[in-house]
Structure formats: C-alpha cells, structure tokens
Amino acid sequence: MGTLVSLISALASGEAMAALQRTRTTAILYGLAGIFALSGVGFLVGAAYIWLAARYGALAASLGFGIGFLVIAGLILAIHKLTAGRRARRQARRRKADMTAVGVTAALALLPALAKSKGGLGAVLAPALALVAYAIYRENVKPGPEDPDSDVKP
C-alpha cells in the first residue's frame, strides 16, 4: 500500500516526468558519445593504414587489413558458436525451474480450496503422489544423449 501511495505522489508531483526527461537526455548523450568513439576508432584505423601503406606499400597494407578484419570476424563467430549451446542449456534449465516454481505456487494456492471441497483430499493427494513418483523416476534414470537436459555429448 505504501508503494502505491509513493508512486501516485511521484506521478502527481511531476517526479516521474523529470526522471523520464533525465533518462532521455542520458540516452542521447550516450548515443553521441558512441558515434564519436566509432569515428575515433575509424580515424585510428585510417592512420594505421596510412602508416603501413607508407612502410610496406598500399597493396600489402590493404591485404593485411582485410585479412586481419576477416580473422577478427571469424574469431567472434567461433566464440559465439561455442558459447551458444551453453547459453541455450542454461536458459532451458532456468525456464524449467521457473515453470516448476509457477506450478508449485499454483498448487499451493489451490490447496486450501481443494481441501475444503468434498473430494478435496483425494483430488490433491493423487497428483501430488504422481509428481513425487515422477521426480523419483527422473532422479534415478541416467540421461541419454537425446535428453535436452543432458550434458553428455553424442
């Protein structure tokens, strides 16, 4: 209740509009700083090219820069590909844990209403026992390579 009152008072006092204005100004300033930083990097790359072209020739400098940028791009893609599988497994585990938490919360919220109904205890006990049995089964079965939760590589 106190949070709602403070939110309403912040809206009424114009504090929210001031915060929105500050956020917009900050975003604009960071965008401008990013543009100038990229321009600076571009001029540094150009200066390095001019220096190398004067030292080794324009063709050798162009080939060196082209190969260097292609190697950097390849490294970035290889690192992304290596980490993508790990990220996907981590997200799947997190999603599974979140869904379990939602299911448990929903079951706990319905428990008092089911307990008061005529067949309430039986309606609660049968699915609960099934969940416990399934959890025991999953705990005791070794995951195979086709299991998405498995860390075993085929």
pLDDT digits (tens, 9 = 90+) for 93-114: 888 888 887 777 777 776 676 6
Q: Is the pTM of this model over 0.75?
A: no
| DSSP three-state, residue 47 | helix
pLDDT-derived band of residue 16, with 50, 70 and 90 as boundaries?
confident
pLDDT-derived band of residue 38, with 50, 70 and 90 as boundaries?
very high
- Whether residue 33 has pLDDT greater than 80: yes
Name every residue whose Cβ is closer than 8 Å to that of residue 127 and which is 6 or more positions away in sequence: 107
97, amino acid identity: A
